[in-house]
Amino acid sequence: MNTMNFKKFITRENIIFGGILAAVFLGGFLTTYFILKFTNVFTPRPSPTSSPTSQTQINFGPVSEISKEKGIYNTIFLGYGGLGHEGSLLTDSIIIIHVNTNKKTATLISVPRDLWVTGNHKINAEASINGFGNVGGVIKNVTGLPLDYFVAVDFGGFIKLIDDLGGIAVNNPKTFDDPYYPITGLENETCGKTLDEINALKAKYSGYQLEIQFTCRYEHLHFDTGSVNLDGKTALKFVRSRHGDSDFGRSIRQFVVLEGILNKLISLHAFDKGNQIIGTLFSIVKTNLNLSGIQSLIDIVGPTTGYKINEIHLTTENVLNEGKANDGEYILSPKAALFDFSGIKSYINANIN
């Protein structure tokens, strides 16, 4: 998506504040039923005895104080696979939304899923290993930015929601091909290869290069630029495709699908109907903000049409190197040194609005 189109999208109905969907919904479609249902979106505060590695709850911890005098707010958007998806809590979409209300600027910072972090795992596995409450600390260690607000979206819940809506139309910002989209159920298919052939491939290749030797496990995806009609299963492929473009591109596609869902909800007047669609919607969004906090942010930020939008991509062209973990897994690490994130922090600080 080019900068102008992205700006138009990201500023629509205060979508960059209050947790992506939350602020949009509260902006114009608040009803008594809606308020009651919306309380299901908020994550419970962790109790002293709660397990940090719980796979059933998404606990972010308490929200920081919302102060008009502060002027700078950081929200993290996390997209995860959800139930029925291998690695259900892997946060394959990680975007920080940095807002400066004094300067009327906003910066979107994409953190690549393959970044290797302290603890010897990819950053997308932090929530799965140590709990969502630890994600903020890891992101701060990498970027230098303290996170105030968290929003997690279960992209695995998209299939039912979008099918309940009768499908959605989205504006795809960029034509892309993904020749290696995994087919569910064929993850261990041998593709006619013998055990000796498989062992020889494992000795020669690792990671992604090993995966693509088994072509029968994949299907070829293609999406053209412009208007695209999606049912639930196709929408999930659209947002999860890994090899069509960058991680940031995939995150933008996820935002585009969120916008498509919002547009369909509006067109169906779903906000006026206490029906199953709304219930499904709220089951896939979690945030540590409460109702009053979201409204306070909207009031503090004000109209976003005058905001200048900037994007920061952490890539191998600026601060990262490609590499392999001890097990051969593909990873990204700082150019400075393994676990030395000073260069990333400096780059963000120099380019942030």
Show the tokens assigned to 67.
Answer: 């102060």
**Mean local confidence (pLDDT), 258-283:** 71
Round the CA-based radius of gyration of the chain to a whole number and report it: 20
Report pLDDT for 29. Answer: 33
pLDDT tens digits, one per residue of 327-337: 878 899 999 99
Report how far apart, in Å, the C-alpha atoms of 259 and of each of 6, 22, 252 are: 12, 12, 11
Whole-model pTM: value is 0.74
Q: Which of 88, 16, 26 is nearest to 255 (CA)?
A: 16
Please report, for the chain, how many H helices and E strands are present, in that order.
13, 14
pLDDT tens digits, one per residue of 285-309: 777 877 677 777 777 877 766 788 7
Q: What is the mean pLDDT of the chain?
A: 77
Report pLDDT for 23. Answer: 37
**Mean local confidence (pLDDT), 121-141:** 92
C-alpha 97/C-alpha 17 separation (Å) is: 8
> Could you tell me whether strands 168-172 and 226-230 are parallel, antiparallel, or unpaired per DSSP bridges?
antiparallel
pLDDT tens digits, one per residue of 184-198: 889 889 999 999 999
Domains and CATH numbers, the chain: 3-156+279-351 (3.30.420.590)
